[in-house]
């Protein structure tokens, strides 16, 4: 703006000098008193006129010079400040707010300059503030983007199944763990409201663990993955609400427990086999006694037949009864061993704890060292609980085995082996100080196993339920027994208390919730009526004796029987007679082709 003013000044300076000269000349002429006469006809112009004409011209130039001089002053005072203000406004429009207009003698222009300068200053400050706000907004957006990416990274990289449902039960979050466990990709489930139909094909099972609001209320749900594999998931879920308590959806987090459960089952099976190994010697001795009863009776029967052709009916019944009783003892012993050693799923039903204790006592009496006395006053009152019989028997047997060790192999070398194991079963009425606060059952059955063995210190007691912890000599125990017992009782909604003093023995108390009478099933074990029928029965067994016995029994009951010695023959015969066969009885363990394969 200053360069423009300087250029205009340089253009006006020569004219201003000329105007000054003409103005001075005219002033001198008028002062001398001469007259000038101007006529329309050039011929009438006198000599005076010709003599003053140049001066007239100079006078006119002086007037013009005066006008230019006034204009120059106006340009200096009005036009140039306005031009400067216009240029300043243009600069401000382009974002340049470094405006500082000079003071002016004209009040209006001076007010305008001050207003523009003040406006430019305010706009500059506002622009700087807005720039700061824009920078803050950009930083906030970047932080939000980073946080969003960080959140997505946490959700996707979490090792737990995480999904979120909206208020219409549609999936809006489905992380990588959910994809990996279920087999369903995010694209397949996002926006879907029927994912639970895929994961839980059985409607009755699905309804039992999934609420309509989307909250899963089961801690060990078995889901069906896309590839057909069953996965056991431990869920934690929560319904989501807004500030007014209106439901907005739900969030669920699931931990895949499949491998953990398999590992626990493996450890439990190992502990079972360890228990069977400990009992093997005593069981073999008990089994030999059973066989002695059978073989001895048969030998005596054979001797009687060879000595005399006539044997009284009472003698025959006596021999048969002895053989039958011995065989039933052998059968019960084998069944108990199978119950202890086989790998099976948890099957909860109503059981009488008296039955479990009686089974274990029989095993212990035939397998423990003879220096150990087992005291079990039989309880005439049924003690029903909702449990898996084989697992409860395993826990009781484990406590009894540990008690026997505490009175034999764990005694110092100079102490005599032997002692007493006492098993009792009572209804626990007093719960204060005994029942943990997180249990809601009103009454518990208390099953106690006490011994007079070496006992334990408090330090040892704090660790007895830790996996692989043992105080026995190397090779005498794996440290899994009590850990498995603790987990089994916990799975049955029960708990265990232990009391012990070094040198005084130990007491293990098992607490299981009392089963209400309306949930107790009918015991059919005592039903012995023979059922008669008709039709074709197909018996498949690789043992000829079993096939013959089954044939005779079924034929006596009115059935027609055909048999096969292995799975391959069974498949061939069944393909020919399948329409006539009413009942199929197949042995599971057979050569060539097992019962399952058949």
3-state secondary structure of 251: strand
What's residue 26's pLDDT?
45
Q: What is the rounded distance in angstroms from the CA atom of residue 573 to the CA atom of residue 598?
A: 12
DSSP-assigned letters across all residues of 56-125: HHHHHHHHHHHHHHHHHHHIIIIIHHHHHHHHHHHHHHTT-----PPP-SSHHHHHHHHHHHHHHHHHHH
- Partners of residue 586 on adjacent β-strands: 540
Q: What is the rounded distance in angstroms from the CA atom of residue 437 to the CA atom of residue 429?
A: 15
Q: In this structure, what DSSP letter does residue 258 have?
A: H
How far is the CA of 167 from the CAs of 20, 209, 247, in angstroms? 94, 19, 6
Mean pLDDT, each 10-residue run in order, the chain (598 residues): 46 50 49 46 49 67 70 67 75 74 70 78 82 88 85 81 86 89 89 81 75 53 87 84 85 86 72 62 66 77 73 80 79 66 67 89 81 86 87 86 88 87 83 57 87 89 74 58 80 88 91 73 51 85 81 85 86 87 82 68
What's residue 8's pLDDT?
45
Tokens of 339: 């119950």
The label of the residue with tokens 């007093």 reads 430
Bridge-based pairing state of the strands 419-428 and 372-375: parallel
Q: CA 592 from chain center: how many Å? A: 44
Q: What is the rounded distance in angstroms from the CA atom of residue 4 to the CA atom of residue 564?
A: 122
Q: What is the rounded distance in angstroms from the CA atom of residue 377 to the CA atom of residue 423?
A: 8
CB 315 within 8 A of CB 300: no
Main-chain dihedrals φ then ψ at residue 528, nearest 5 degrees? -120, 5
Q: What is the rounded distance in angstroms from the CA atom of residue 331 to the CA atom of residue 292?
A: 15
Q: What is the rounded distance in angstroms from the CA atom of residue 74 to the CA atom of residue 12?
A: 13
- H helices present in 407-537, as ranges: 458-461, 481-491
CB 422 within 8 A of CB 400: no
Q: How crowded is the C-beta side of 359, counted as CA atoms within 13 Å?
A: 25
How far is the CA of 484 from the CAs of 242, 343, 422, in angstroms? 44, 14, 22
What's residue 512's pLDDT?
92
Rg (CA), the chain: 55
Q: What is the rounded distance in angstroms from the CA atom of residue 406 to the CA atom of residue 480?
A: 16
What's residue 34's pLDDT?
47
What's residue 43's pLDDT?
47
Q: What is the rounded distance in angstroms from the CA atom of residue 477 to the CA atom of residue 470?
A: 7
376: number of Cβ within 10 Å: 18
pTM as predicted: 0.46
What's residue 508's pLDDT?
93
Tokens of 44: 């009438």
Q: What is the rounded distance in angstroms from the CA atom of residue 180 to the CA atom of residue 183?
A: 5
User: What residues have CB less than 8 Å from 75, skipping those under 6 apart?
Assistant: 8
3-state secondary structure of 139: helix
3-state secondary structure of 172: strand
How many residues are there in the chain?
Answer: 598
78: number of Cβ within 10 Å: 14
């Amino acid at each position: 703006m200053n360069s423009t003013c300087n250029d205009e000044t340089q253009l006006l300076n020569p004219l201003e000098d000329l105007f000054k000269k003409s103005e001075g000349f005219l002033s001198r002429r008028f002062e001398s008193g001469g007259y000038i006469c101007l006529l329309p006809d050039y011929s009438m112009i006198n000599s005076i006129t010709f003599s003053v004409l140049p001066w007239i011209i100079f006078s006119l130039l002086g007037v013009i010079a005066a006008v230019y001089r006034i204009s120059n002053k106006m340009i200096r005072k009005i036009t140039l400040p306005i031009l400067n203000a216009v240029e300043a406004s243009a600069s401000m429009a382009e974002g340049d707010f470094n405006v500082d207009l000079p003071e002016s003698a004209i009040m209006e222009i001076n007010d305008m300059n001050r207003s523009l300068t003040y406006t430019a200053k305010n706009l500059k400050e506002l622009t700087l503030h807005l720039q700061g706000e824009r920078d803050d907004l950009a930083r906030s957006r970047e932080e939000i983007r980073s946080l969003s990416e960080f959140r997505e990274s946490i959700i996707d990289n979490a090792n737990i199944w995480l999904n979120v449902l909206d208020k219409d039960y549609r999936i809006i979050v489905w992380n990588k763990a959910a994809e990996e466990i279920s087999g369903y990709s995010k694209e397949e489930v996002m926006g879907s409201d029927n994912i639970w139909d895929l994961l839980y094909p059985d409607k009755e099972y699905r309804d039992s663990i999934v609420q309509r609001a989307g909250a899963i209320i089961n801690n060990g749900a078995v889901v069906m993955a896309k590839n057909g594999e069953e996965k056991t998931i431990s869920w934690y879920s929560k319904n989501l609400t807004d500030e007014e308590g209106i439901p907005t959806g739900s969030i669920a987090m699931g931990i895949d427990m499949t491998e953990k459960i398999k590992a626990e089952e493996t450890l439990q099976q190992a502990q079972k086999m360890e228990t069977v190994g400990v009992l093997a010697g005593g069981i073999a001795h008990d089994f030999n006694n059973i066989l002695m009863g059978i073989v001895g009776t048969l030998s005596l029967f054979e001797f009687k037949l060879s000595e005399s052709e006539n044997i009284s009916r009472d003698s025959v019944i006596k021999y048969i009864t002895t053989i039958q009783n011995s065989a039933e003892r052998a059968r019960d012993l084998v069944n108990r061993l199978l119950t202890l050693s086989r790998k099976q799923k948890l099957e909860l039903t109503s059981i009488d704890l008296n039955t479990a204790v009686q089974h274990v006592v029989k095993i212990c009496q035939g397998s423990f060292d003879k220096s150990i006395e087992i005291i079990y006053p039989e309880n005439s009152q049924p003690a029903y609980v909702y449990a898996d019989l084989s697992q409860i028997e395993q826990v009781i047997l484990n406590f009894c085995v540990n008690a026997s060790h505490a009175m034999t192999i764990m005694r110092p070398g100079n102490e005599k082996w032997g002692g007493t194991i006492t098993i009792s079963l009572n209804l626990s009425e007093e719960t204060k100080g005994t029942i943990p606060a997180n249990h809601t059952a009103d009454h518990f059955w208390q099953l106690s196993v006490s011994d007079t063995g070496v006992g334990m210190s408090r330090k040892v007691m704090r660790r007895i339920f830790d996996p692989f912890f043992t105080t026995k000599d190397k090779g005498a125990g794996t440290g899994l027994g009590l850990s498995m017992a603790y987990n089994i009782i916990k799975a049955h909604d029960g708990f265990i208390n232990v009391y012990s003093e070094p040198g005084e023995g130990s007491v293990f108390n098992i607490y299981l919730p009392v089963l209400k009478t309306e949930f107790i099933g009918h015991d059919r074990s005592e039903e012995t009526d023979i059922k008669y029928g008709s039709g074709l029965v197909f018996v498949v067994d690789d043992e000829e004796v079993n096939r013959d016995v089954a044939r005779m029994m079924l034929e006596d009951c009115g059935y027609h029987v055909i048999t096969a010695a292995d799975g391959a023959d069974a498949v061939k015969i069944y393909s020919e007679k399948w329409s006539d066969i009413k009942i199929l009885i197949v042995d599971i363990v057979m050569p060539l082709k097992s019962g399952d394969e058949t």
